[in-house]
Amino acid sequence: MSEEQHPRRLFAHGTTIADLKEYMEPFAASLGYRFNTETEFVDEVLASEIEILAESGDVYCPCRIRTGDPKQDVKIICPCIPFHRDQFAAIRKCWCGLFIRHDVEDGAELTGVAEHPEPGTPIDVPVSRVEDMASGHVRHVKVGSRDIALARSGDDFFAVSNVCRHAYGPLSEGLLDGHLLTCPWHGWRYDVRTGTTDHPDADIRTYPVTVHGGVVHVQVQAASKRVVR
């Protein structure tokens, strides 16, 4: 292999399993996930990722096939939770089981093939820790194909479509004053409790929000049935 063909390395030479744990754990926790309770399994998966790292330059998921297209393969770089929030929330783990939802006590039950629920089945998707969002803050959350603005007003959380119905402005970049979210582009205002605005036929969608164990969950519906390995 010529020098030009060597993969661009994104982690230091000598990266260890302990290094990957230290790097991945806080990020996964911010998304409502933790390492599987099966510690030997975790070490086996991370050892595989280190082998892939040496070959490819990055920590790609060991149970997914790389396409060779960087724009596609970015979705399988571990931890890939943000790209597959609804799927992983439904099966309570990532594809290989390296990460499990924060509310799963025993990760041993989450190995092997997992079936995606029937279309329309409600799924509570962890999207943020309570401690990571101050009152008055709004953030953009991607759940499957859905763009959602997650807002905190006082101790309450709300989720609405992130797209303003006027000119498609990103509401997550707007100003939240109490329960009114103002679009940053032209000032249209939406009530995050109901999705309503004072403009005709321009209300936005709302999503149920719950908080469990210090983690905020947004409820969506399963879009399609699939088998995830």
Kindly report, residue by residue over 8-34, the tens digit of the pLDDT: 667 888 899 999 999 999 999 999 999
In words, the CATH class of domain 3-107 is alpha beta
Reply yes or no on whether the pLDDT at 132 is more than 90: yes
Quote the CA–CA distance of 100 and 106 in Å, as a whole number. Answer: 9
In what helix (H) or strand (E) does residue 150 lie, and over which residues does it extend?
Answer: strand 146-153
Cβ neighbours of residue 167 under 8 Å, at least 6 residues apart? 185, 186
Taking a C-beta distance cutoff of 8 angstroms, is the pair 99, 93 a contact?
A: yes
pLDDT of residue 224: 64
Instruction: Give the residue extent of every domain in the chain.
Output: 3-107, 124-221
Q: In this structure, what token pair is assigned to residue 160?
A: 């609405």
Task: Calculate helix-pair angle for 39-56, 17-30, nearest 10 degrees.
Answer: 110
**Burial (0-12, 13-18, 19+ Cβ within 10 Å), 226:** exposed
- Whole-model pTM: value is 0.82
Over residues 50-102, the pLDDT tens digits come to 999 999 889 999 989 999 898 899 999 999 999 999 999 999 999 999 999 99
149-168 pLDDT per residue, tens: 999 999 999 999 999 999 99
Fold (topology level) of 124-221: Rieske Iron-sulfur Protein (2.102.10)
Q: How many Å apart are CA 101 and CA 44, to the nearest integer?
A: 19
Q: Find tokens 């030009």 and name the residue.
A: 4
| Per-residue model confidence (pLDDT) at position 118 | 80
**The domains spanning 3-107 and 124-221 adopt the same CATH topology:** no
Residue 49 · residue 114 · CB < 8 Å = no
Beta bridge partners of 159: 150, 207
Residue 224 backbone zone (phi > 0: left; psi -120 to 50: alpha; other: beta): beta
CA distance 11 to 14: 9
